Structure 1
Amino acid sequence: MKLRVVWRKLSDYVRYDLKEIAFPSSLPDPPHIKKRRKLTWKERYYVLKEASRLYAASWVRDIGPDLRPNDYKKDEESADKPDEANSTINRKEPSTLEDLAVAARGGMETLRPALQRVYMTRASAYRDALKSFIQGYQEGIQQVMAGKEDPKSQKKDDIPSKSI
């Protein structure tokens, strides 16, 4: 009798619990969610084709206007401006990320100073922001204190003082 109970519990475990552990079922969708229809084979092919095209295009250094149209709109607008404006745009310094990428290629000897520059830049920006905040806070306190002192001084002037 006990062997039959053990066999039933073991088979139930394998049939229900083990299946749920190996392949957990997801929670059911909320009632307001409408299920999408399944894609046809032709639609799946088009999705795969477009995804692979975008993936292949992302491996190129200059990915073009297909993936980043907003960046190319800025370049077209700057092309309409005089040559002086274009020359200043072309002479801009490399970004911090580009600087770190170049330094990382050079090895640890070049990466260490680049990281120190990044940390010092961040520290100085944090220090400047903190100074600005403290200065504004002190000005605010002075304004509040001046506002509190003015009514008191007016009340003291209103009260006649007794002379001895």
Structure 2
Amino acid sequence: MKFRVACKKIYDYVRYDLKEIAFPSSLPDPPHIKPLPKLTLKDSFLVLKKASRLYAASWVRDIGPELRPQDYKKKEGSDDVPIAGKGAPKDKEPSTLEDLAVAARGGMETLRPALQRIYMTRASAYRDALRNFIEGYQEGIQEVMEKKENLKPQDGAESPKRSP
């Protein structure tokens, strides 16, 4: 009997506890979550096919005029006439948000220069603001020093001394 109990405990340890120690399971899902049905082999293939096509399309080098407008400004065979983009005014600069959105669609190649441009703009604005603050502060100190010099006694007049 004792041998049988020992074998059962060893069997349970290997079956449940050792498996949990070697490969711990995650927390169970909450009771309101219903597990999704498993995909059939055909559905799995279709998902993999669509995902691989989208992934391959993201690696294309020629990303088109909407992502690189400078490369596609002129129509082939026209005389220096830029292509009008969807009725937008020709002189209008894209906003920072629009620029980032277009660059993000182009991938890391186009996103990095756009982010560098934004950071450089912010850095120059911060530098200019700091420079203006320092100049204003120095002017304020200069005014205070001039007022103090004007308040000092002039022409050798001595200020009253205290007697100890």
TM-score normalised to the size of structure 2? 0.40
Look at both structures and tell me which one has the larger radius of gyration over its CA atoms: 2
TM (norm. structure 1) is: 0.40
